[in-house]
Amino acid sequence: MKKKGISYFLMAAFFAACILGLAGCSQKKTAEQNSTENKIVTIEFSYPPYGYDSQKEDAFWKKYIAEFEKENPNIKVNFTVESWDNVYTKWDGYFASGDTPDIGYADGVQGVEYGVQGKALPLTDVIDALGGEEVFTKDSKAFQTNGVWYSIPNCVAAPVLAYRKDLLKAAGFSEPPKTWDELVSMSKKLTKDGVYGLGMFTGENLLTQQIMVGFMKAAGGRVLDEKGNVVVNCPENLEALKFMTDLAKVHKVVPPSAVDWKYGDDVNVLGTGKVATDIMWGGYGTLLESMFPNDYQNIGFVTMPVGPSGHSGSFTGSGGFFLFNKAEHPKEAKEFIKFMSREEISKEWCKISGNVSPFKSIANDPELMKMEWYKAVSQQSDTAVELGFDYGFVPGLDILHTQYRYSRTVGDVLLRNMTPEEALKTLHDDCIAAIEKAKKQ
Amino acid sequence: MAKMQLLNSSKPISNFKIRGQVLLFLLPAFTAIIFVMAYPMIKGLDISFTNRLLTYDKYSYIGFQNFLAMFSDNFFWYSLVNSIKLTFWAAAGTLLLGFALAVLLNHQFVFRDFFRGALFIPWVMPSMVTALMFRWLYNDFYGYFNYMLTKYHLIAQPVNLLADPRLAWAGVLLPIIWCNYPFVMLVFLAALQSIDKSLYEAAHIDGANRLQAFWFVTLPGLIPAFVIVIILEIIWTFASFDLVFLLTRGGPADSTLTLSLYIYKQAFEAKLLGYASALGAALFLILFFVTMMYFSFVRRTGFYEK
Amino acid sequence: MKSNSGFWNKAIRLVLLMILTYVLLFPMTVALFTSLKPPGEVITATPSLLPHDFTLQNYRVLFSLREFPRYLLNSFLVSCYTALISILVSSLAAYALVWMNFTGKRTIVKAIFFTYMFPQILLVLPLFLMCYELNLIDTKMALVLTYLSFSLPFCVWMLKSFFESIPEELVEAAMLDGCTYLQCLFKVVLPVSIPAVTAVLVFSFVLGWSEYLFANTLIISDTNRTIAIGLQTLIGYYRVDYGLLTAASIVMTLPVLLFFVTVQKYFIQGLVVGSVKE
């Protein structure tokens, strides 16, 4: 009997140890409860990384959150860097469970989508407190719908044309290509000895989609007309698709392995001098010095070449703060957003993150414009299109974006031997079907 | 079976008490498994009968429509065939490599412990590190493989395995095998050591040479290990997701699109949660039947008494 | 003559093994040397295996990030809990399956095995929601439970096979002495099962150490991240900082490797009886 007792005791002790150990893991919750007793409010901030250099970016957020907490001793900010792989899944989980953070950070169209679905709070009052919509550049219109703002613009960026000054010079060019025709003729001459004239993503992924949308814009194409009809299958879009796919398929100036580029392969290829020009996000400018200490001065940035429409075109990425509908402390969260929108912080943010400011007062700041990448992105922004391709949030079409459906059209031509006409027609039909389906839902 | 009867006859315990004990012993394991598996499975099955979209809250039950749609979905069949191909080659490669290494390691020599330890490393590597390292090695502009192959004039032009729709399979296979072989190697090593040494002596006395001894003693001794490793490899590779996802995301031109990847894409990119759940149920059923058939085949051949 | 051929046999075997090991460990060799290179040497058009300038810069950066040791510790804790609880729970279940007589045993063994067949990718979202309802999100407990359910089927099955090889007289004698089942398990069965327990320990530890998918969804705050997830925060999202990545992968492989090398004898013994002997 005694023996039995010992054995049971040992087992109970083991279980208890396990449970205690596990309970120790969830200390966070109790700490929070204590802080509410002292009337200190903790706001949760869920943020996918928008800066290119993660170490600089981390330091930036930590520094200014600490400053904010010093200015507002009753507010604590709990900052979480999310992973791009699953941030939307995670947020979907938050929405479904109803237990959300206070602040999120996403592109303008995403914020509007959440707002329209009732998942994000309107923030027009914050916009007014910051000086109204006049203080923002025109890219910022994607952050509102029908006059209601669902997120506060914080950064804007666009893919631009990066180029190797040394390779261009060696081939006898003093300036990077300015038009589509120049892009073709110059890249053809630059393609030799294992070096390709133009680097751009051609696989079925987000970046290819962004580049294609940029070409469509430069050609003067659209997805929806004023009445909301799908006009994907228009001659301008066809011209853009033909131009983009011909670069790879007919002129062969794009590396064939670009169909598999991922995880910043483009910047590596440019840095090793294996492509002479490259369509890439201007923000990489902040990384080049540390990645390629011997070559970074050879890399320049300009706006994308001008297309048949007479202007250049690119895609816009943007980022801004939004409030989850179930935010526990919206008042304090708004204070934080206002704090982070201060001029000197916004300026610092642009410099380290590789983005352009959405504030008119800083967007063309002479100090920032000294950086080549910043200048290119800032100028590019005028001719760039949002994820929603100028039409904002249309239920159904958002699914085509997350599917990278546009990039599939490029893949159809490059890898599945469809003609550009067929590929574009399929995209056109899919757009119509997606909108119809969303209406039925 | 004999030992049970012996135990029970020597120490009669009431049926009720045993049942209570059995429950106590099995409960912890079952709680953990049911907690993580059963609820999501039931939830998944429930969703598979709806037209639910990922970010849209409204949905309705549509009966078996998702399951019927599967039959006319070319991508389903295509990715299923891809999965089968990948599983077959991955399992074959892993088995072969693991087996060869086990045979080589199954002798006493100076650095045996070192080799065992070193060859175990890939098993510990997080899939993200494995995928990124292999992507780098494969790269046609700054990767080691192409650099060395072109330097020694083994190939004229650099080739990026992952960028060619015809070769991407090989590119995905290598890292999968690389990650999986250590486990197989260790199981085979264990199996080799469990073979009774006196059998070899007997074979030697009977005049068998090395090859014959290997064929008639070693291989039969390894059958139980083969049986279990094969089915584990099949299940793990068929349902695996992260390596292919991190390496190619199914591209280029869908050439490495496996069923698990297709499920992911349907659920999280096309947002068709209902349809993806139906596909998930299909994957489960396929594995279920494969395993059943496999074990009944094994039982009928009588290799593995269980 | 005979000893001579034995020598050549051994030599050939060793050479073959060395070649195979070199090929198989090539990615690890690249990782090791890359971690010792300065940033400018990492991505070049003419890659060289050995660094031009040896530097410990990457390791210095790695350990100057105050999150990194925490990620390591988190991984260690999660893996340890998974391993220890796996042993306890699976030995109980295996004991019941071997030494207790009840109906439906076969079905249970099969049912446990079938849990491997459900695609993990579909478990993610429901599991996330469920953890939310139970207030388990962002706790190590959620991860431990998840990994436990992945490791248990294999562990139960392995311990079960090992227990079956234990001479029945041993258990029988203990039972006749008046031991309860529980005492019998802890005093008689487990002490002679050290090899199998080691095998279970290694298997479930490794599983928790490098898992990515669930750690990425169930853990939210930075303070609770495991190393497999923390890696991504360290290397950046827009490009891969191979210097940091390789340094981190070396650092995270070492402890597991050392652990494995110390226990490998038991581990293999455990597999010998546990999984393959019939």
Is C34 an interface residue toward A (CB < 8 Å)?
Answer: no
Instruction: For residues A138 and A279, state if they share a domain.
Output: no
What pLDDT, on a 0 to 100 scale, did the predictor assign at position C35?
A: 92
Helix/strand/coil (H/E/C) assignment for every residue in chain C: CHHHHHHHHHHHHHHHHHHHHHHHCHHHHHHHHHCCCCHHHHCCCCCCCCCCCCCCHHHHHHHHCCHHHHHHHHHHHHHHHHHHHHHHHHHHHHHHHHHCCCCCHHHHHHHHHHHHHCCHHHHHHHHHHHHHHCCCCCCHHHHHHHHHHHHHHHHHHHHHHHHHHCCHHHHHHHHHCCCCHHHHHHHHHHHHHHHHHHHHHHHHHHHHHHCCHHHHHHCCCHHHCCHHHHHHHHHCCCCCCHHHHHHHHHHHHHHHHHHHHHHHHHHHHHHHHHHHCC
User: B144 and C47 in contact by Cβ < 8 A?
Assistant: yes
pLDDT per 10-residue tile (average), chain C, 278 residues: 66 88 91 90 85 88 83 91 92 86 77 74 78 81 88 85 82 81 82 85 87 83 83 79 90 85 79 59
- Listed by number, the residues of chain C in 145-164 with a beta carbon closer than 8 Å to a beta carbon of chain A are none
Q: Which of B128, B177, B189, B293 to mutate to test the interface with C (most CBs of C within 10 A)?
A: B128
CATH number of the domain bearing residue C67 = 1.10.3720.10
Residue A417 φ/ψ region, left for φ over 0, alpha for ψ in the -120 to 50 degree band, beta for the rest:
left
Instruction: Please report, for the domain that includes residue A364, its CATH number.
Output: 3.40.190.10
Task: Compute the residue count for chain A.
Answer: 441
Any idea which of A181-195, B51-65, B129-143, B273-287 has the lowest mean pLDDT?
A: B51-65
Residues in chain A closer than 8 A to C44 (CB atoms): 272
Cross-chain CB nearest to A25 (options C45, C132, C140): C140
User: Of A141, A194, A127, nearest to A167 (Cα)?
Assistant: A194
**Are A269 and A373 part of one and the same domain?**
no
- What's the mean pLDDT in A411-437? 92
- Chain A residues whose CB is inside 8 A of the C190 CB are none
Same domain? C137 vs C11: no
Shared domain for C21 and C86, answered yes or no, is no
Contact A52 C144 (CB under 8 A): no
Query: Domain of A232?
Result: 159-315+394-440
Pick the more confident residue, A130 or A93.
A130
**Rounded Cα gap, residues A111 and A91, in angstroms:** 12
* CA within 13 Å, CB half, C137: 22
A32 in any annotated domain: no
Of the candidates C162, C144, C114, which has an alpha carbon nearest to the alpha carbon of residue C204?
C144
- Nearest CA among B263, B220, B261, B228 for reference residue B242: B261
User: Which chain A residues are within 8 Å of B251, Cβ to Cβ?
Assistant: 203-205, 259-260, 411
Give the gap in angstroms from C-alpha B43 to the nearest C-alpha of chain A: 14
Q: What percent of chain B has pLDDT over 90?
A: 21
The CA distance from C40 to A323, in Å, is 41
User: Which of B24, B55, B62 to probe by mutation at the A interface, max A CB count within 10 Å?
Assistant: B55
Contact: B142, A274; criterion CB under 8 Å: yes
Q: Which of A370, A356, A369, A262 is nearest to A317 (CA)?
A: A356
Q: Tell me: the pLDDT tens digits for A196-205? A: 999 999 998 8
| C-alpha distance from A402 to closest chain B C-alpha (Å) | 5
Buried b (16+ CB within 10 A) or exposed e, A408-427: bbbbbbbbeebebeebbbbb
CB spacing of A263 vs C217 below 8 angstroms: no
Alpha-carbon distance values, B75 to A303, A391, B82, B286, C19 (Å): 39, 31, 10, 16, 41
Q: Note the pLDDT of residue A280.
A: 92
List of domains in chain B: 74-301 (1.10.3720.10)
| Co-location of C102 and C14 in the same domain | no
Shared domain for C135 and C222, answered yes or no, is yes
Residue A342 lies in a domain: yes
Specify whether C131 is located in the same domain as C187. Answer: yes
Tokens of residue B103, six digits:
């045979």
Regarding whether C78 and C21 lie in a shared domain, the answer is: no
Give residue C5's pLDDT.
Answer: 66
| Cβ distance of C88 and A14 shorter than 8 Å | yes
SS3 A128: helix
Do A336 and A376 have their domain in common? yes
Interchain pair C238, A52: CB under 8 A: yes
Q: What are the residues of chain A with a beta carbon less than 8 Å away from any beta carbon of chain B? A: 88-89, 92, 113, 117, 194, 203-205, 255-260, 262-263, 265, 268-269, 272, 274, 398-399, 402-404, 411, 415-416, 438, 441
Question: Which of A294, A252, A295, A307 minimizes the C-alpha distance to A270?
Answer: A295
Considering only the beta carbons, identify the residue of C108, C148, C249 that sits closest to B129: C249
B124 with C256: Cβ contact below 8 A: yes
Q: Which domain holds residue C29?
A: 2-34
- Residue C265 within a domain: yes
Q: Which residue of C has its CA nearest to B106?
A: C13
- Subunits next to A (3 or more Cβ pairs <8 Å) are B, C
A256 contacts in chain B (CB < 8 Å): 160, 163-164
Q: Under a CB-based contact definition with an 8 Å cutoff, are residues C161 and C96 in contact?
A: no
Dihedral, CA atoms, A163, A167, A171, A173, nearest 10 degrees? 40
- Rg (alpha carbons) of chain C, rounded to whole number: 23
Q: Is the pLDDT of residue A13 over 50?
A: no
Residue holding tokens 């290397």? C235
* Cα distances (angstroms) measured from residue B171 to each of A261, B168, B176: 14, 5, 9
Interval B253-285: pLDDT, tens: 899 999 989 988 888 888 888 888 899 888 888
Numbered residues of chain B with Cβ closer than 8 Å to any chain A Cβ: 51, 53-59, 132, 135, 139-142, 158, 160, 162-165, 168, 248-249, 251-253, 265, 268-271
pLDDT in tens, A32-78: 444 445 578 999 999 998 988 888 888 899 999 999 999 999 999 99
The minimal CB distance from A257 to the residues B160, B268, B269 is found for B160
Q: Which two tokens stand for residue A264?
A: 């910043």
Helix (H) or strand (E) holding A243: helix A235-249
Contact residues on chain C for A287, CB-CB shorter than 8 A: 238-239
> Pairing state of beta strands A317-323 and A103-106?
antiparallel
CB contact under 8 A, B132 and C261: no
Q: Do C155 and C18 share a structural domain?
A: no
**Total number of domains in chain C:** 2
Q: A with C: how many residue pairs have Cβ under 8 Å apart?
A: 119
Number of structural domains found in chain A: 2
- In this structure, is residue A18 part of a structural domain? no
Pick from A54, A263, A293: CB nearest C233 = A54
* A254 and A341 inside one domain: no
Instruction: Tell whether C140 and C27 lie within a shared domain.
Output: no
Q: Does C191 touch chain A (CB under 8 A)?
A: no
* Rounded-to-integer distance, Cα A51 and Cα A61, Å: 11
Instruction: Assess whether pLDDT exceeds 90 at residue A279.
Output: yes
User: Which of C44, C77, C239 lies at the smallest CB-CB distance from A272?
Assistant: C44
- Higher-pLDDT residue of B194 and B170 is B170
- Do C278 and B133 count as a contact with CB atoms less than 8 A apart? no
Shortest Cα distance from A232 to chain C (angstroms)? 30
Residues C132 and C212 occupy one common structural domain: yes
Q: Which is more confident, A358 or A90?
A: A358
Mutate to test the interface with B, among A113, A249, A257 (most CBs of B within 10 A): A257
Whether residue A164 sits in one domain with residue A236: yes
Do C15 and C78 belong to one domain? no
Residues of B in contact with C243 (CB under 8 A): none
Please give the Cα distance from A69 to B254 (Å, whole number): 49
**In this predicted complex, what is the ipTM?**
0.85
What are A199's strand-pairing partners? A278
Mutate to test the interface with C, among A26, A210, A269 (most CBs of C within 10 A): A26
Q: Mark whether C29 and C63 lie in a shared domain.
A: no
pLDDT at A419 over 90: yes
Query: Is the Cβ of C121 closer than 8 Å to some Cβ of chain A?
Result: no
In a domain, A31, yes or no: no
**A221-240: per-residue pLDDT in tens?**
888 888 888 889 999 999 99
Q: Which residues of A touch B162 (CB under 8 A)?
A: 257, 260
Residue at C88 is within a domain: yes
Quickly state the pLDDT bin for A6 (edges 50, 70, 90). very low
Q: Is B172's pLDDT higher than 90?
A: yes
Beta carbons of B252 and A415 less than 8 Å apart: yes
Residue B302's pLDDT band, with cuts at 50, 70 and 90, is low
Q: Residue A224 gets which letter from DSSP?
A: B
3-state secondary structure of A126: helix
- With CB atoms and an 8 Å threshold, state whether C124 touches A84: no
pLDDT of residue B5: 40
Identify the pLDDT of residue A186: 93
Q: Is the pLDDT of residue B101 over 80?
A: yes
Please check whether residues A207 and A294 belong to one and the same domain: yes
Share of chain A above pLDDT 70, in %: 89
Say what the pLDDT of residue C84 is.
92
Contact residues, chain A, for C237 at CB < 8 Å: 49, 54, 83-84
Chain B residue numbers touching A192 (CB-CB < 8 A)? none
Pair C124, C10 in one domain: no
> What residues in B contact C17, CB-CB < 8 Å?
101, 104-105, 115
From the list C166, C146, C145, C174, the residue with the least C-alpha distance to C91 is C166
Rounded to 5°, the CA angle C192-C195-C200 comes to 115
Cα separation of C76 and C72, whole Å?
A: 6
* Neighbouring subunits of B (3+ Cβ pairs under 8 A): A, C
- Tell me what the mean pLDDT of segment A319-327 comes to: 92
Residue C40, in any domain of the structure: no
| A135 and A204 housed in the same domain | no
Examine the domain organization and report whether A285 and A326 are in the same domain.
Answer: no
pLDDT of residue A386: 66
Residue A294 resides in a domain: yes
